[in-house]
Amino acid sequence: TLHHLTVIHPTRHITMVIIEHDMHVVFSLAERITVLAQGAPLVEDTPDNIKGNPKVQEAYLGESQN
């Protein structure tokens, strides 16, 4: 569950692979995010940079919001 992930991650200092479509969950857990588009890596960055990335916006919203 989400609760278990939030407890395990900071105390164990381990890398986790999380496949999740709820971006609020992803942004709350991740230090680094790799975004996939059509099964291929599109961009890897911090949550703050992913939020405003035009490539991510175009891939998932159809066009950049900038």
Query: What is the domain extent for residue 25?
Result: 18-66
Q: Give per-residue pLDDT as tens, 31-66.
A: 899 999 999 999 999 999 999 999 999 998 886 555
- Provide the pLDDT for residue 51: 92
Identity (one letter) of the amino acid at 13?
A: H
Position 6 confidence tier, pLDDT thresholds 50, 70, 90: confident
Element (H, E) at 40: strand 40-45
Tokens of 47: 């949550």
Q: From residue 8, how far is each of 11, 22, 35, 41, 62 by CA, in Å?
A: 6, 20, 23, 26, 36
Specify the number of domains making up the chain: 1
- pTM recorded for the entire structure: 0.73
- Distances in Å between the Cα of 56 and the Cα atoms of 31, 39, 66 are 17, 14, 12
CA distance 11 to 54: 34
